[in-house]
Structure 1
Amino acid sequence: MQRRTLIRLAATSGTALAASLATGGAARARERTRLVVAADGSGDVTTVQAAVDAVPPGTGTRFTIDIRPGVYAGQVIVPADKPNILLRGRGADPGRVVITDDRASGTPRPDGGTWGTSGSASVTVDAADFTATNLTFANSFDEAAHPEITARQAVALLSRADRLVFDNVRFLGNQDTLYLNSPAAAVPSRIYLHRCYVEGDVDFVFGRGTAVFDRCRIHSLTRGSTTNNGYVTAPSTSVTNPYGLLFAGCAFTSDAPPASVYLGRPWHPSQDPNAIGQTVIRDSVLGAHIGPAPWTDFGTWPWRDARFAEYHNRGPGALVTPDRPQLTDEQSEDYRPAAYLAGTDGWSPHC
């Protein structure tokens, strides 16, 4: 089959592309390790999901999906049997390629019920060794336009796999923007985020994943309050996992009033007593929106029982008070990016 015929078939269907690869033989399928997504039809497929659908299952080599500038609406799911995908935005900056959806946890499903928090995700990654670079993941659910929906968790990206890398990626949303999870409570999943931008308001970085935010910007949106404009993190790290969320060399910014944003609160899904969340913030700049008591309880679960700590932070919001546990110099050696990411296989991602 000529390549122009292959592209013509693929322009409307990732399934068609996958089938054409299969009929071309195993050798041809192995040769095809890159697809181009373009909404205007000038690439191989017109949607990101179609490109993911066309990736051969179980591939042991990198499969690159290049995405040309545009806004790509609709949910994207990367299943567990499609590891080693690179999702690469081809615009001049990450704002030129946007993958978005607009459902919240309380949005009604066509078949009845509602989507729930996990089902609200614009993008779900269940495949290991996934990488995304130079693009935006967003959830564009409009809270003001839907006062009838009170369950407003609206996830931009949900991850449930190991060894994931996000480089120069933006994550946009309000409540529950970035859900870093794992397949099971006692199973660690490692995520490395390098020079990324994350924005939201309530619990907008949450879950039980082991994640390193390396030189990222963490931006808290204002909700119009003078006292409480939300919570940056809501970790649910398993007590068996020594590492949860680490922010190293990051900038915490906001337009919210001074001392009106919390750094975090401990999330215990289904009231799980073994979800002893961990957030460590070190060598970072904290804006004035962070107050002198930046950790708070979550329902009946006290923050002092969680694993919250800071080290060598600076900026107007980086006060040292009795309500802000600090690592010692000796302790800080155990809370570096390499320690979080190494695991049992010595993983050391490079961007």
Structure 2
Amino acid sequence: MRITAALATVVLALWPGPGPGPAQAEAEAEGVRFAAPGGADGACVDAPLEFTFPARPAPGTAGVIEVRRADGSLADRVEAATAKADRKNIGQAVSDTGLPHDFSYESIMVEGRTARVHLHRQLDYGQDYTVTVDPGVFPGYSGSWRFSTRKQAPRQPRHLTVAAAGTGDFCTVQGAVDAVPLGNTRPVTIDVRPGVYTEIVYVREDRPHITVRGAGAGRTVIRYANNDLRNGDAALRESGGPADVCPRRVLETSDVHNCWRAMFGVDAADFRLSDLTLHNTTPSGGSQAEAFRGNNERIALDRVDLRSQQDTLRLQGKGFVSRSRISGQVDFVWGTGTVFIQDSVLESTGPGYISQSRNDATRPGTVFVRTRLTRAPGVPDGSVVLSRSAVWRFTHSQTVFIDTVMDAHISLKGWLIDPDDCAKAPDLAFWEYGSADPAGRPIDVSQRLACSRQLTAAEAERWSDPEFVLGGWDPEKKG
């Protein structure tokens, strides 16, 4: 089937009944429906363009999609040949050298019968556009459509809403983040409505004081398969080189490119995230793939569900996590920061290591209080360690588990160091207190790593205070 209509003018399909609904600009030509999500006032400037086919389309490797303004000038161009590994700047990212950093991403993504085209940049407000699709992009189909964007930017930049269907201020989380001014000094709340958002999100250092709040874990889901092979050291050693080095590097020899591989990356201080799911969809064995990376001071996560396989949560600076769920297999809580995690579930999805702290002598590492260590079906007994450290390099690694419920997948030795020689780890702080099995019985710690230690009750009480661990920051303080 081939679309032969020269132009299908977009109409607005409004949701019946009072109040806002999932209105969007849409048009259909010979069985293929085009949509630019938005409301009655026009399409979102940040929305992916959607093409829904009678059957699942098979993207081609030739041809282009062009978006042109009313005066005929080119606004964007997506080439089918490079769609799987396209490049664009996300969040106005800038490397440590001051040069813009472009992320690798997929500009054409197919799910079911719908193909979404993710443009390289936001469109302009109050503009009429024409979209033209060459026949090689989706073999057997071609066509042209028109749509208009909404007239103006949101009038309340301190409270923004995101809705994939187009009923908010923006259709993507990154679109809302980009609306926060550089050098921001005031609190900004971004409410993300229920839906699935397939995107990489990046918050640069000079956009502090942002809160991103979903409608509940499982209801608001942000997902993407970002990883080291796509955007980290493995990808950028050859293509990027020194020009793309990470900003705010903590470990000079390690943090060269690995900041870009997180699905949701934050280099700004005073950032809060709550009530949503972050899922890095990189499969097992697909390299390091953070669901969330926070690299600054006073980063707080509450009621979030973080999912990946390797390096799920990475926190540097000072971080706080409460009432959340973190899933992974290898080092799925890690980083150089001082981190306090309480009242949360840590699920092992396979044999491996829960945490790896790389703090130095100047700051505490990671403290877990009242957490539950669970496992996915099929994870063997004794196949997971609480934490590991290369003590030849990270001499002061500290990980503390207090009042932890542990299933039998936790190894009796509990901890792992490299080299496996306690004489070479005099400053190691692998501490534990009050560990119990799911039935409430005390864990047998007689076979724990010799240089790990059981805390006293007084020590455990002190280290259970987040304000003490976090150096005076009280993340639960109101106001």
Counterpart in the other structure of 1:314: 436
Residue 300 of structure 1 deviates from its aligned partner by 6.9
TM-score (norm 1): 0.80
More strand by share: 2
The reply on whether 1:100 has 2:232 as its aligned counterpart is: no
Off by >6 Å, runs of 4+ in structure 1: 4-7
Per-residue deviation at 1:57? 2.5
Aligned counterparts of 2:360 and 2:169: Cα–Cα separation in 1:
42
Code of the aligned partner of 1:127: A
Per the TM alignment, residue 342 of structure 1 is displaced from its structure 2 partner at its CA by 4.6
- Deviation of 1:130 (Å): 0.7
1:9 and 1:16 in contact (8 A); partners too:
no
Shift of 1:309: 0.6
Residue 8 of structure 1 deviates from its aligned partner by: 5.5
Instruction: Find out whether 1:253 has 2:370 as its counterpart.
Output: no
Match of 1:239 among 347, 355, 361: 361
Q: State the distance in 2 between where 1:279 and 1:168 align.
A: 22
Contact in 2 for aligned 1:123/1:157 (Cα 8 Å): yes
User: In the aligned structure 1, how far is the partner of 2:184 from the partner of 2:315?
Assistant: 24
Q: 1:265 aligns with which of 371, 378, 388?
A: 388
> What is the deviation of 1:211?
1.0
* 1:45 partner SS: coil
2:331 match: 203
Displacement of 1:87: 0.4
Cα distance change on mapping 1:53 and 1:325 into 2, 3 Å: same
1:225 match = none
Partner-residue secondary structure (3-state), 1:49 = helix
Percent identity over the alignment is 31
Q: Aligned equivalents of 1:238 and 1:14: distance in 2? A: 41
* Residues 205, 269 of structure 2: 8 Å contact kept: yes
| Alpha-carbon offset, residue 325 of structure 1 | 1.7
Structure 1 CA distance for aligned equivalents of residues 174 and 419 of structure 2? 38
Stretches of structure 1 lacking an aligned partner (at least 5 in a row): 18-22, 147-151, 182-188, 223-228
Say if 2:339 and 2:470, in contact at 8 Å, map to a contact too: no
**Alpha-carbon spacing, 1:301–1:6, altered in 2? closer, same or farther (3 Å):** farther
2:288 maps to 153
Which residue type is aligned with residue 298 of structure 2?
Answer: R
Matched, 1:33 2:158: yes
Kept in 2, the 8 Å contact 1:105–1:118? The answer is no
Tell me the amino acid that sits aligned with residue 221 of structure 1.
Answer: T
Structure 1 partner of 2:265: 124
1:106 Cα shift? 2.5
Name the stretch that deviates more: 104-113 or 204-213.
104-113
* TM-score normalised to structure 2 length: 0.59
Which residue does 1:82 correspond to in 2? Answer: 207
Partner amino acid, structure 2, of 1:214: Q
On the 8 A contact 2:322/2:344 being kept in 1, the answer is yes
Q: RMSD over aligned Cα, in angstroms?
A: 3.0
Alpha-carbon distance in structure 1 between the residues aligned to 2:399 and 2:332: 13
Greater Cα offset, 248-257 or 106-115: 106-115
Q: Look up the SS of the partner of 1:190 in the other structure.
A: strand
The aligned residue for residue 349 of structure 1 is 476
* Correspondence for 2:301 among 143, 166, 177: 166
Q: Is the alpha carbon distance of 1:9 and 1:287 closer, same or farther for their aligned partners in structure 2, counting shifts above 3 Å?
A: closer
Is the alpha carbon distance of 1:15 and 1:209 closer, same or farther for their aligned partners in structure 2, counting shifts above 3 Å?
farther
Kindly provide the CA deviation profile for residues 47-97 of structure 1, in whole angstroms up to 9, marking residues without a partner as x.
11111010122333221111112221221111111111110112xx30111
Partners of 2:122 and 2:188 in 1: CA distance: 14
CA distance in structure 2 between the aligned counterparts of 1:52 and 1:180, rounded to whole angstroms: 20
AA matched with 1:129: D
What is the aligned residue count?
Answer: 313
3-state DSSP of counterpart to 1:51? helix
Mapped partners of 1:267, 1:72: distance in 2: 37
* Other structure's SS at 2:454 match: coil
| Aligned counterpart in structure 1 of residue 402 of structure 2, from 255, 265, 282 | 282
Cα deviation digits, residues 19-66 of structure 1 (max 9, x gap): xxxx99xxx97x531111111222111111111010122333221111
The 1:70/1:342 distance shift into structure 2, 3 A limit, reads same
Instruction: State the distance in 2 between where 1:88 and 1:297 align.
Output: 38
Change (3 A) 1:58 1:6: farther
CA distance in structure 2 between the partners assigned to 1:139 and 1:249 by the alignment: 26
Show CA shifts across 1:131-189 (max 9, x none).
11100112111246x6xxxxx111111110111111100110001111112xxxxxxx2
Give the one of 280, 295, 307 matched to 2:415. Answer: 295
Provide closer, same or farther for how the CA distance between residues 118 and 342 of structure 1 changes in structure 2, counting only shifts above 3 A.
closer
Shift in alpha-carbon separation, 1:66–1:280, aligned structure 2, 3 A: same
What is the CA distance between 1:292 and its match in structure 2?
A: 1.4
Conserved? CA contact 2:463–2:469, under 8 Å: no
Residues 318, 337 of structure 2: 8 Å contact kept: yes
Verify: 1:70 aligned to 2:216, yes or no: no
Unaligned 5+ segments in structure 2 are 1-38, 48-120, 126-151, 242-255
Name 2:463's counterpart in structure 1: 335
Q: Hey, what's the Cα distance between the residues in 2 that align with 1:301 and 1:125? A: 37
- Alpha-carbon contact 2:340-2:470 (below 8 Å) kept: no
